[in-house]
Chain A
Amino acid sequence: DVQLLESGGGLVQPGGSLRLSCAASGFTFRSYAMSWVRQAPGKGLEWVSSISGSSTVTYYADSVKGRFTISRDNSKNTLYLQMNNLRAEDTAVYYCAKGWVGPTNNWFDPWGQGTLVTVSS
């Protein structure tokens, strides 16, 4: 079974930093693009960032470009999201998902259980 397990969420002050991790199992991690999607409390889904299997291509939503960095360690089957200069509007549950945002295979499946990031003073 494919499993994705996020960690690293928590409470952080505005302007602070946080690194999320997503441990993957049940599939050949290095062969698949991975993504982060977030959901603010009571709101809809918002794509955040995606990375290719070999890390050569990364994409970001305009709302996080320049503040967030996606990366992966294929030797550890782990996906990361480094979040800097956090703002109140970044408060959300962050999901990692197997999937890509390019013009092929443009869907997310499966998703992890999510980790909550709260940005507040």
Chain B
Amino acid sequence: QSALTQPPSASGSPGQSVTISCTGTSSDVGTYNYVSWYQQHPGKAPKLFIYEVSKRPSGVPDRFSGSKSGNTASLTVSGLQAEDEADYYCSSYAGSNNFVVFGGGTKLTVL
């Protein structure tokens, strides 16, 4: 059982928007602004897509955005494209005992 809770699946048609949630607790997501999101295509290594809740690394399309409210962080993908179909994982700093925790992952399907 993962420390952060993500829906196992999400889907949308090309051009639509989809939001993936990541629910933690006051010990991680709710306290720290160190939520990250990773994209992973099958058989590939994860790739950082969002860090510090809403910042995008260079090269990540601005169709991807992150936000946080209370104990829940969210990744929104706007203008869905076929290449966005992948698994998405959230993570959060969880203090000096647990350090970093991950969500169980969400499989995003572009219909």
Contact = CB atoms under 8 A, between A and B. Distances in A.
Contacts of B89: 44-45
B45 A114 contact: yes
A26 interface: no
B51 A107 contact: yes
A45 B101 CA distance: 9
B9 to A, nearest CB: 14
Contact of A45 (B38, B48, B52, B93): B38
B102 A45 contact: yes
Interface in A72-111: 95, 101-103, 106-111
A47 B46 CA distance: 13
Contact of A44 (B36, B47, B93, B102): B102
Contacts of A45: 38, 46, 89, 91, 102, 105
Given A95-B46, A101-B93, A107-B48, 20 more contacts: A44-B89, A44-B105, A45-B38, A45-B46, A47-B91, A47-B100, A101-B100, A102-B99, A103-B32, A103-B34, A103-B96, A106-B93, A107-B91, A108-B36, A108-B46, A109-B57, A110-B47, A111-B45, A111-B46, A113-B45
